[in-house]
Amino acid sequence: MTVAFLNPPALAQPGSYSYVAMVPAGRQVHLSGQVALDADGALVGRGDLAAQATQVFANVALAMAAAELPITAVFKLTLYVVDLTPERANIVRAARAACFGAGPYPAATMVGVSALVDPAFLIEVEAIAFAD
């Protein structure tokens, strides 16, 4: 099964996400929000958005591997970023690109928030993937 990623020419062309992800009928995998904790539960990158974003996307990849799926099976991301600015968005986009490579990129929504469940967390990412 494959996902069709579409960027209609009538819309401004996105750089690091797709507007549409079409998934044929089948099983989906929903990942809970991933934060910048390592395998021991220790925070990675206190006060450093780039380090936290890198850890978060590594955690997404690890969760996908646990489901025996490649990162390319992800078709939707929701990103929550504390104190989002254009500069902080670019930091997150760089970490996402490092994880997903040259694309195609999943459909994505980046949301600025004032805080996450732990004040030390700067980013949280949810993902939806297809399994069949």
16 domain residue, yes or no = no
Q: Is residue 100 part of a domain?
A: yes
Report if residue 22 sits inside a domain: no
Asked, for residue 86, whether it belongs to a domain, the answer is yes
17 inside domain: no
pTM: 0.85
Residue 26: predicted pLDDT: 79
pLDDT at residue 1 is higher than 70: no
Residue 42 placed within a domain = yes
Going from the C-alpha of 58 to that of each of 9, 76, 115, 131, the distances in angstroms are 32, 16, 22, 19
Sequence-distant (6+) residues with CB within 8 A of 17 are 77, 105, 106, 107, 108
Split into its structural domains, the chain has a count of 1
Within a 13 Å sphere around the CA of 66, how many CA atoms are in the beta-carbon half? 9
Q: Assess if residue 20 is contained within a domain.
A: no
Domain of residue 71, CATH code: 3.30.1330.40
The Cα 50–Cα 53 span in angstroms is 5
- Residue 64 C-beta-side C-alpha neighbours within 13 Å: 22
Structural domain boundaries enclosing 47: 4-8+27-130
pLDDT at 17: 82
**21 located within any domain:** no
Contacts of 120 (CB under 8 A, 6+ apart): 43, 46, 47
pLDDT at 38: 94
Transcribe 16-41 into DSSP letters. SSBSEEE--SS-EEEEEEE-SB-TTS
Give the tens place of pLDDT for each residue, 51-100: 999 999 999 999 999 899 999 999 999 999 999 999 999 999 999 999 99
